[in-house]
A and B are shown apart, each in its own frame.
Chain A
Amino acid sequence: MTLRPRARHYRILVQTLFLLSFMVLFFGLAVDRVPGWVASILLSLDPLTALGTALADWTIPAWTWIGLIILAATAVLGRFFCGWICPLGTLQQLMSWIAGPERRKRNKINRYRTWFSLKYVILTVILVWAALGADHAGWLDPIPLLHRAVAGGLRPLWFGGMTPGGWVAFGMLAAILLLSTWMPRFYCRAVCPLGALLGVTARVAPLRIRRTSDSACSGCTLCLMACQGADEPLENHRVSECHVCLNCLPSCAEDTLKFGLPVVQHSPEMPPLDVGRRRFLLTAVTTAAVAPVLRATGGGEARAADAIRPPGALDEEAFLARCITCGACSASCPTNVIVSDVGKTGIEGIFTPILNMRRGWCEPSCTRCGEVCPTEALAIVTSEAKQAVDGPAEVTIGTAFLDRGRCLPWAMATPCIVCEEMCPTSPKAIWLEPAELRARDGRTVMVQQPFVDPELCTGCGLCENRCPVGEQAAIRVSSVGETRDPRNRMLTGRRSG
Chain B
Amino acid sequence: MTDTPSDKSIGRRDLLKTWGPAALAGAAITALGAGLSGRPGRHQRGSGEVAPTPPDWRIDPGTAGKVAIAGGAGPSANLGRALQVFGGIDAFINEGDRVAIKPNCAWDRTAAQAANTDPELIGELVRLSLAAGASSVVVLDNTCHDPARAFARSGIAEAARTAGGTVAHQNSTGTVNLDLGGAVLGEWEVLQPIAEADRLINVPVVKHHSLGRGTLGMKNWFGAIVGRRPSLHQRLDQVCADLGAAFRPTLTVIDATRVLTGGGPTGGSLDLVRKDDLLAVATDPLAADAWGATLLDFGPAELPYLAIAERLGIGTTDWRSVATTV
Which residues on A are within 8 Å of B, measured CB to CB? 32, 334-335, 363-366, 387, 389-390, 408, 414-418, 420-428, 432, 448, 462, 466-468
Which residue of chain A has the shortest Cβ distance to B264 in the bound complex? A421
How far apart sit A270 and B145, CA to CA, in the bound complex (Å)?
61
User: A159 to chain B: closest CB distance in Å?
Assistant: 9
With contacts A421-B209, A421-B265 taken as known, whether A363 is within 8 angstroms of B231 at the C-beta atoms is: no
Q: Are A424 and B234 in contact (CB under 8 A)?
A: no
Q: Are A421 and B145 in contact (CB under 8 A)?
A: no
How far apart sit A335 and B272, CA to CA, in the bound complex (Å)?
28
User: A404 to chain B: closest CB distance in Å?
Assistant: 17
Q: Are A466 and B230 in contact (CB under 8 A)?
A: yes
How far apart sit A32 and B230, CA to CA, in the bound complex (Å)?
29
Q: Which residues of B contact A421 (CB under 8 A)?
A: 209-211, 233, 265-266
Q: Which residues of A contact B210 (CB under 8 A)?
A: 417, 420-421, 432, 448
User: B44 to chain A: closest CB distance in Å?
Assistant: 23
Which residue of chain B has the shortest Cβ distance to A389 in the bound complex? B268
With contacts A364-B108, A426-B263, A427-B263 taken as known, whether A390 is within 8 angstroms of B146 at the C-beta atoms is: no
20 chain-A/chain-B pairs, Cβ below 8 angstroms: A32-B148, A363-B145, A363-B146, A365-B153, A387-B268, A390-B271, A415-B234, A416-B211, A417-B211, A417-B233, A420-B210, A421-B209, A421-B233, A421-B266, A422-B144, A422-B266, A426-B267, A426-B269, A427-B269, A432-B210
With contacts A421-B209, A421-B211, A432-B210 taken as known, whether A366 is within 8 angstroms of B230 at the C-beta atoms is: no
If A335-B146, A426-B267 are given as contacts, then 8 extra A-B residue pairs at C-beta distance below 8 Å, sorted by A number, are A363-B149, A364-B145, A365-B108, A421-B210, A426-B269, A426-B272, A462-B144, A467-B230
Which residue of chain A has the shortest Cβ distance to B147 in the bound complex? A334
User: B295 to chain A: closest CB distance in Å?
Assistant: 20
Q: Does B228 contact A (CB under 8 A)?
A: yes
User: B266 to chain A: closest CB distance in Å?
Assistant: 5
How far apart sit A255 and B235, CA to CA, in the bound complex (Å)?
84
- Selected from B231, B235, B263, the residue in CB contact (under 8 A) with A428 is B263
How far apart sit A389 and B271, CA to CA, in the bound complex (Å)?
11
Interface of A is mostly: loop
User: A316 to chain B: closest CB distance in Å?
Assistant: 27
User: A119 to chain B: closest CB distance in Å?
Assistant: 42
Q: Are B269 and A390 in contact (CB under 8 A)?
A: yes
Q: Does B111 contact A (CB under 8 A)?
A: no
Q: Does B236 contact A (CB under 8 A)?
A: yes
Q: Are A428 and B266 in contact (CB under 8 A)?
A: yes
Q: Which 4 A-B pairs have the closest CB atoms?
A: A426-B268, A468-B231, A468-B230, A417-B211
Q: Are B263 and A418 in contact (CB under 8 A)?
A: no
With contacts A424-B145, A428-B263 taken as known, whether A415 is within 8 angstroms of B268 at the C-beta atoms is: no
With contacts A426-B263, A427-B269, A468-B228 taken as known, whether A415 is within 8 angstroms of B236 at the C-beta atoms is: yes
Chain B window 29-64, contacts with chain A (Cβ cutoff 8 Å), 1 for yes, 0 for no: 000000000000000000000000000000000000
Q: Which residues of A contact B146 (CB under 8 A)?
A: 334-335, 363, 366
User: A421 to chain B: closest CB distance in Å?
Assistant: 6
Q: Which residues of A contact B145 (CB under 8 A)?
A: 363-364, 424, 462
Q: Which residues of A contact B236 (CB under 8 A)?
A: 415
User: A29 to chain B: closest CB distance in Å?
Assistant: 14
User: B272 to chain A: closest CB distance in Å?
Assistant: 7
Q: Which residues of B contact A432 (CB under 8 A)?
A: 210
How far apart sit A428 and B153, CA to CA, in the bound complex (Å)?
20
Q: Are B230 and A418 in contact (CB under 8 A)?
A: yes
How far apart sit A234 and B194, CA to CA, in the bound complex (Å)?
71
